[in-house]
Amino acid sequence: MSTAMAWYSGRPTWTDEVTQQNAISDLVARLSDPDVVVRDRAASALVLMDRRVVGLLVEELNHPDYRMRLGAARVLRDRADPGVGPYFIEAMNDAELEVRRVAAEGLIALGDDGLELVLEALINLSWKNPTFREEADHVIRRFSSGKFRRFLEPVTEMMEGTEPAAWVPLMAYGALIRIHAIRANRSYPESESIERF
């Protein structure tokens, strides 16, 4: 049994930093194993480990093997580490739908911070990429029934509209300004229109 699998089974066997780092590397490598059970066990173990695994997993989001990218994205999503948000934004441009969707779910797991990152990306013209736009729409719709519904509806309407180039960044900016204000315990009158931004 490898050191990494011994750790997962609840019997830590390492006594020094090098052994622990080797165990972490072994678990990360197992995220691309052909056997789904091995991948799932490795992912479960990595979710429980300390923050040192985050840097290794972020690097794997660019791995050539989609199973590795998918496994890394799943672990990062399940860890819900706020510092990973920008990497989820990048992963929403991945060639594989599964990786993009897990990245979007990772942003959802980050809550309001994840939503703000998506809106910032839409302001910065990431909406031009159809695969990114699809996942951004998924994230925004997950938040659309909550406290920010009235600010997010114009964004999704414009993403589906005939002239998204003109309106998506503007609507995303308006929504972001309002969300920032609410999160900072400031509010705008109900009658003030988001289009004014």
- Contacts for 46 with CB less than 8 Å, ≥ 6 apart: 24, 27, 28, 31, 53, 57, 75
Which domain-ending residue is among 110, 142, 168? 110
Q: pLDDT tens digits for 29-80?
A: 999 999 999 999 999 999 998 888 999 999 999 999 999 999 999 999 999 9
Residue 185 has pLDDT above 80, yes or no: no
Answer yes or no: do 162 and 132 share one domain. Answer: yes
Question: What's the CATH number where 45 sits?
Answer: 1.25.10.10
Q: At 193, is the pLDDT very low, low, confident or very high (cuts 50, 70, 90)? A: very low
Q: pLDDT tens digits for 118-167?
A: 999 999 876 678 888 889 999 999 998 888 999 999 999 988 877 777 78
Residue located via tokens 């599964």: 98
Neighbours of 122 (CB within 10 A): 28
Q: At 107, is the pLDDT very low, low, confident or very high (cuts 50, 70, 90)? A: very high
Answer yes or no: do 27 and 104 share one domain. Answer: yes
